[in-house]
């Protein structure tokens, strides 16, 4: 267990006509080995939930524990924010320094580390997101392409050496190449650096490809929580709340309905390929 939410409620603008209950009695435990996909349509409370994870928002009632630290304890917030890195939507809009080096160094400098340690972390973080440290360190972040800017922004969070990394739609507005690069890097972080990852996304394909657990939110509540395949099996329930399943899973379901005995729980194109090959071979042999 690394993060635990207990009976968390959150209300925006309480006691005004704009009052809105964004989180409704959330109970959630996040383990170190989790790679969570957080899905739900716009306004379901995903963003509010992720901001609770590092104490940017504190619950109206209930509590959030990060590694045993209650986020209501304001003296320890810097520690919480170091442990849980949060990458917002369009993080490149938050770049501000003259050089990429300085921008990435902003986080670790705020932690009060020594110059050498900061340097080391900046170098590692920039390399982790797949940029050439020597080439980019003295350039202005505003000269870069959209995808590169975003990677610099993610590096800015990684330089804090978080144990949990939360990414809110990290691929929104990127071209396919930029998207694949970012997702590839995230996967590497999970596999090689053992960072717990929480990915908010609207792309069921990306979710299917990467995560091992899905949490589904609807109207401020967690309505489903389970292994990727288990959640994608419940098509009707997902469609009822305006979500879907990966296109390839949909295809396999339709194909099965046509009377072909294939496994319709596959969720990635790669799996589907293997399954179809198996199916065609068995037909040949019959």
Partner 1 sequence: MLRDITIGQYFPGDTIVHRLDPRTKILIAIMFIVSLFFIKSFYPYLFILAFVVLTVRLSKVPFRYVLKGLKPLILIILITFTINIFMTKGEVLFSIGPLDVTKEGIRQAVFMALRLIFLITGTSLLTLTTSPISLTDGIEKLMSPLRRFNVPVHELAMMMTIALRFIPTLLEETDKIMKAQTARGADFESGNIVKRAKNLVPLLVPLFINAFRRADELAIAMEARCYRGGHNRTRLNELKFTRNDVLVLIITTVFFGVIVSTRYI
Binding residues vs partner 1 (CB under 8 A): 13, 16-17, 51, 54, 56, 78, 81-82, 85-86, 88, 91, 93-96, 106-107, 110-111, 142, 156-157, 160
CB of 91 to partner 1, least distance (A): 7
CB of 103 to partner 1, least distance (A): 9
Measured from the CB atom, is 172 or 223 closer to partner 1? 172
Surface-to-core class of residue 40, CB atoms within 10 Å of its CB (0-12 exposed, 13-18 middle, 19+ buried): buried
85: left (phi over 0), alpha (psi -120 to 50) or beta: beta
Measured from the CB atom, is 37 or 156 closer to partner 1? 156
Using the structure block, give the residue that is written with the tokens 């997902």.
238
3-state helix, strand, coil in the chain (%, to 5): 45, 20, 35
CB of 78 to partner 1, least distance (A): 6
End-to-end CA distance of the chain: 50
Measured from the CB atom, is 83 or 218 closer to partner 1? 83
Q: If DSSP codes are grouped into helix, strand and coil, which group holds residue 137? A: coil
Measured from the CB atom, is 140 or 265 closer to partner 1? 140
Measured from the CB atom, is 84 or 252 closer to partner 1? 84
CB of 246 to partner 1, least distance (A): 30
CB of 81 to partner 1, least distance (A): 6
CB of 88 to partner 1, least distance (A): 5
Measured from the CB atom, is 32 or 96 closer to partner 1? 96
Q: Are 40 and 217 in contact (CB under 8 A)?
A: yes
Q: What is the CA angle 195-196-197, rounded to 5?
A: 110
Surface-to-core class of residue 284, CB atoms within 10 Å of its CB (0-12 exposed, 13-18 middle, 19+ buried): exposed
């Amino acid at each position: 267990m690394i993060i635990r939410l207990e009976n968390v409620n959150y209300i925006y603008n309480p006691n005004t006509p704009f009052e809105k209950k964004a989180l409704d009695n959330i109970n959630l435990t996040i383990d170190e080995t989790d790679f969570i996909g957080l899905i739900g349509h716009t306004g379901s409370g995903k963003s509010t939930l992720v901001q609770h994870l590092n104490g940017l928002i504190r619950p109206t009632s209930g509590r959030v524990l990060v590694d045993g630290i209650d986020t209501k304890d304001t003296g320890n917030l810097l520690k919480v924010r170091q442990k849980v890195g949060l990458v917002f939507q369009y993080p490149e809009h938050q770049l501000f320094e003259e050089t990429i080096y300085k921008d990435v160094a902003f986080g670790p400098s705020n932690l009060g580390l020594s110059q050498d340690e900061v340097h080391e972390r900046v170098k590692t973080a920039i390399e982790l997101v797949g940029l050439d440290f020597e080439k980019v360190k003295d350039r202005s972040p505003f000269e870069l392409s959209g995808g590169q800017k975003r990677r610099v922004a993610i590096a800015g969070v990684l330089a804090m050496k978080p144990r949990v990394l939360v990414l809110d739609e990290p691929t929104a507005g990127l071209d396919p190449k930029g998207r694949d690069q970012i997702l590839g890097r995230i996967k590497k972080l999970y596999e090689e650096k053992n960072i717990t990852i929480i990915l908010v996304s609207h792309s069921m394909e990306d979710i299917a490809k990467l995560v091992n657990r899905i949490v589904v939110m609807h109207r401020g509540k967690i309505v489903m929580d389970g292994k990727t395949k288990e959640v994608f099996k419940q098509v009707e329930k997902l469609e009822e709340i305006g979500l879907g399943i990966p296109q390839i899973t949909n295809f396999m379901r339709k194909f099965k309905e046509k009377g072909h005995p294939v496994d319709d729980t596959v969720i990635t194109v790669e799996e589907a390929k293997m399954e179809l090959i198996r199916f065609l071979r068995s037909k040949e042999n019959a």
